[in-house]
């Protein structure tokens, strides 16, 4: 029979897995409490960072339907449960890992797909969702502007030709 404290921990982890759009597993060995606090503050808008027990995390992930993290649950593990923008959370973890090499990104899951540490670093290299949407809007506006220019170009050319003919006729009439 499971102890009530462990059952509560599994239930909480299961809920975190279900509410998260992405999960990133890390190894925190060698980080101080102050550094972990700093990491939690850096991720505060996009993710929650929790030190977890591997066996309880494996059970919770299985109950939540998250697959592909069992291989990474070895050694001291902590999980970033991403509820905001996964790109921003990946950037925060990558930047913190660069400043503090003791933090090792093991892998994760994004939209039900297992990710390696290299894929999480690639995710961190992406621009934020807002920037990508702004670029898309700019590209759409540019193509619409180009289409509008193409539609109005023949009319504008015809108007310039007619004006040139009027001016030529006016100069011919004045000369005659």
Instruction: Give the residue, 148 or 167, on which the prediction is more confident.
Output: 167
Q: What is the mean pLDDT of residues 131-152?
A: 76
- Given a cut of 60, whether residue 1 has pLDDT beyond it is no
Mean pLDDT of 106-114: 81
Q: Determine the Cα–Cα distance for residues 68 and 114; give it in Å rounded to an integer.
A: 5
Could you count the other beta carbons within 10 Å of the beta carbon of residue 76?
15
pLDDT at 79: 86
Compute the distance between CA of residue 39 and CA of residue 104 in angstroms, rounded to an integer. Answer: 13
Backbone angles phi, psi at 150, to 5 degrees: -65, -35
Main-chain phi, psi angles of 113, to 5 degrees: -110, 130
Count of Cβ atoms closer than 10 Å to residue 16 Cβ = 20
Domain boundaries of the chain, sorted by first residue: 4-126, 127-176
- Pick the more confident residue, 149 or 103: 103
User: 169 vs 47, 156, 157, CA distance in Å?
Assistant: 74, 20, 18
Rounded average pLDDT over 42-65:
82
Cβ neighbours of residue 123 under 8 Å, at least 6 residues apart? 86, 87, 90, 110, 115
Decide: helix, strand or coil at residue 113.
strand
**What CATH code would you report for 4-126?**
3.30.70.1730
DSSP string spanning 24-83? EEEE-TT--HHHHHHHHHHHTTTEEEEEE-HHHHHHHHHHHT--S-GGG--SSEEEEEE-
pTM of the model: 0.66
Give the pLDDT confidence score for residue 2 in this predicted structure: 63
Pairing of the two strands 104-110 and 113-116: antiparallel
């Amino acid at each position: 029979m499971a102890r009530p404290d462990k059952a509560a921990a599994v239930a909480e982890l299961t809920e975190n897995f279900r509410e998260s759009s992405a999960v990133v597993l890390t190894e925190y060995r060698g980080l101080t409490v102050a550094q972990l606090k700093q990491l939690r503050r850096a991720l505060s808008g996009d993710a929650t960072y929790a030190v977890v027990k591997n066996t309880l995390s494996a059970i919770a992930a299985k109950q939540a339907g998250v697959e592909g993290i069992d291989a990474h649950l070895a050694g001291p593990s902590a999980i970033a449960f991403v509820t905001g923008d996964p790109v921003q959370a990946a950037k925060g973890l990558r930047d913190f890992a660069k400043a503090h090499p003791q933090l090792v990104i093991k892998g994760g899951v994004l939209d039900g797909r297992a990710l390696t540490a290299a894929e999480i670093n690639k995710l961190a290299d992406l621009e934020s969702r807002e920037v990508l949407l702004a670029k898309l809007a700019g590209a759409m506006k540019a193509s619409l502007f180009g289409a509008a220019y193409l539609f109005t170009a023949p009319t504008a050319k015809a108007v310039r030709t007619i004006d040139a003919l009027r001016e030529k006729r006016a100069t011919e009439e004045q000369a005659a």
